[in-house]
Amino acid sequence: MAENGRRFSGRTALITGAGGNIGLATALRLGQEGAALALVDISGEKLSEAQKACALTGARTEVYECNVADRHAVAEAVDRIASDFGTVDLLFNNAGFQGAFKPIHEYPEDDFESVLRINTFGAFYMLRAVSRRMVSQRYGRIVNTASMAGVQGPPNMAAYGTSKFAVVGLTQVASKDLAPYNIRVNAISPAFMGPGYMWDRQVELQAKARTQYFSSDPEAVARQMIGSVPMRRYGDITEIPGVVSFLMSDDSSYLTGVNVPISGGIL
């Protein structure tokens, strides 16, 4: 039983995309629940800000600047983290990028490759490097950030949708491969989350795409998106960490290979 409700006391959590809204919010939650934190992001400036915020939880917090699309950089970062902390018990495999908003016949090839490099290859590189450590210790809890874009293919998001479908599939395969080693692998699929940069960006760019699915007016696009959600609101970033924490805890001890929609009722 965790002391004083701190379910992750004695555990080390590695969070990628830790400088972004979802990554930081989840790092704060895991730190509050007792985990030591290894924060990974491509932006050193964002990492510095995240470290200061996480330090307020009292958790040990170290930062590692790393491009997850570079397999060599990922391997080096994971080796450093394992050396610094002695173990990697929890992985929030969260780094990602939305990419362009264009219909498929206009979608830029370079962007397609870039998004898959970050969202799919990066998720694989990190999962592979960390799971090797977890296999040797016969313990691990992994949560991959997928998306409802990987459940229902969205218009104008060929790269992002494809990359997140792949993350869902990767989660299912990895859950079977790693189950014999007491390692559980699950995914979350947020839908429309806001407010903030990601919400504003997708509203603006879907409007600019000028397709039949959305208005060319960003305010109208926002109303259309919210209107598609049964709960008639977008999700708050703070509604994600509790789900991740649950999937990493013993409260979900018989769950693996599951993709949990955080979607306000979109299925």
Residues that are catalytic: 160
Listing DSSP states for 62-76 in one string gives EEEE--TT-HHHHHH
16 vs 39: CA distance, rounded Å = 6
- DSSP-based helix, strand, coil % in the chain, nearest 5: 50, 15, 30
Show the tokens assigned to 204.
């603006």
**Helix (H/G/I), strand (E/B), else coil: 265:** coil
Instruction: From 110, 72, 87, select the one nearest 38 (Cα to Cα).
Output: 87
How far apart (Å, rounded) are the C-alpha atoms in residues 216 and 5? 49
The whole-angstrom separation of Cα 141 and Cα 259 is 14
Task: State which amino acid sits at residue 181.
Answer: Y
Integer-rounded Cα radius of gyration of the chain: 18
CA dihedral 123, 23, 17, 119 (to 10 degrees): 40
The burial of 114, by beta-carbon neighbours within 10 Å (0-12 exposed, 13-18 middle, 19 or more buried), is given as: middle
**Would you give the DSSP letter of residue 34?**
T
DSSP letter assigned to residue 50: H
